[in-house]
Amino acid sequence: MAIAPQISVVIPLYNKEKYIRRAVDSVLGQTFRDFELIVVNDGSTDNGPAIVREYNDPRIRLIDQENGGESAARNRGISEARNELIAFLDADDEWLSDFLETVVHLQERFPGAGAYATGFRLLKGGEDIFRDVRIRSSCDEYGCYFDLLGKGMVVTSSSVAVRRSVFNKVGSFRVGCTRGADRDMWFRLGLYYRYACSPRICSLYYYYLPDNVCHTVSPCEVSPFYASILELRDKSDVELPVKAQAMRYAQTQFAGEIKGILFGGMRDLAGRRLREYRALFGADVSYFRLSLLRMAPMLLLRCIPFVRVRLVRLALLIRSWMPGRAQIGEVRKSAAQ
């Protein structure tokens, strides 16, 4: 009988032929070598699966299934995994060479955690504009998900590894959603399990690529995160302090979603979301602020995100001029050494 690898890697693949080679190469280039790579072809109609088949590496398995969405592909990868620790990578992202080594180290140091996350580098569209997203700490951190969020931790589907047994408690990724299923999962996981987090930048997250889902998803679609908020109110097996933190976090996230809808000019949809907000959280300060914002002139609402984007770009440009800011190519080169 073959010995199971120490970690399983799951890549959901759907029409990502432009990027899948980059993602697979980043897994094969890891300093930690004891892994299996499961690529779940979720009914791709392009050449992506053929590219994966070109690799002659026994650690790679390509699994074909009918198109069911990213969540269905991740769930299939989880069911096929041979190891307790499962790392996720989106087909259009990549890892730096020490990602697996870092999460395995976290697992050895914090065996009681349910998930292990690292920092990541956010790239908008290409490699010229980026920022680092990491926990504000000089060392590894372990604790409640909502406490770590307050310290700057952000979990993405390309910068986290999860213990397989965790899914028996929190359930699978919600199927049928075109956005937010990963954030919903990290939230549900945080209700019952601790996270371990490294401040190291180990992942490159490509945001706003031409074929990213953010281009095709309508804000009218209700996030699966909303279902978790509704379920949370009736959960009796969540510790009360954690439940209170989770509700405050959910309140912030829901308010942010309403702001995004308003800035997009959809005043009627924002009104419906505000009524849902009041039913969930009551008429608090945030609710009244959002109500006032909804009454602002449409021209002002449309200008706010425009000004915000320009300010962020200016800040990133200033940061890129600062001494010691490595470019992406240099980061990859140093990580590979």
The residue ranges of every structural domain in the chain are 7-211, 224-295
**H or E element at residue 110:** none
pLDDT tens track for 108-128: 999 999 999 999 999 876 665
Q: What is the pLDDT of residue 253?
A: 87
Side-chain-facing half-sphere of 150: CA atoms under 13 Å: 10
pLDDT band at 236; cut points 50, 70, 90: confident
pLDDT at 337 over 90: no
Q: What is the pLDDT of residue 158?
A: 97
Work out the average pLDDT over 265-276: 88
Spatial distance between the Cα atoms of 325 and 22, rounded to a whole number of angstroms: 24
Q: Which of the listed ranges 135-139, 175-179, 327-331 does the model predict with the highest average pLDDT?
A: 135-139
pLDDT at 69 over 50: yes
Q: Return the higher-pLDDT residue of 212 and 133.
A: 133
Is residue 118 left, alpha or beta, with left meaning phi > 0 and alpha meaning psi from -120 to 50?
beta
Work out the average pLDDT over 165-192: 92
Q: Return the higher-pLDDT residue of 281 and 314.
A: 281
Helix axes 298-321, 240-263, angle to 10 degrees: 110
Work out the average pLDDT over 232-245: 90
pLDDT at 233 over 90: no
pTM of the entire predicted model: 0.84
| Residue 194 near residue 144, CB atoms below 8 Å | yes
Q: Return the higher-pLDDT residue of 256 and 51.
A: 51
Work out the average pLDDT over 12-27: 97
Share the mean pLDDT of the chain. Answer: 86
Q: What is the pLDDT of residue 320?
A: 59
7-211: CATH class: alpha beta
Work out the average pLDDT over 9-35: 97
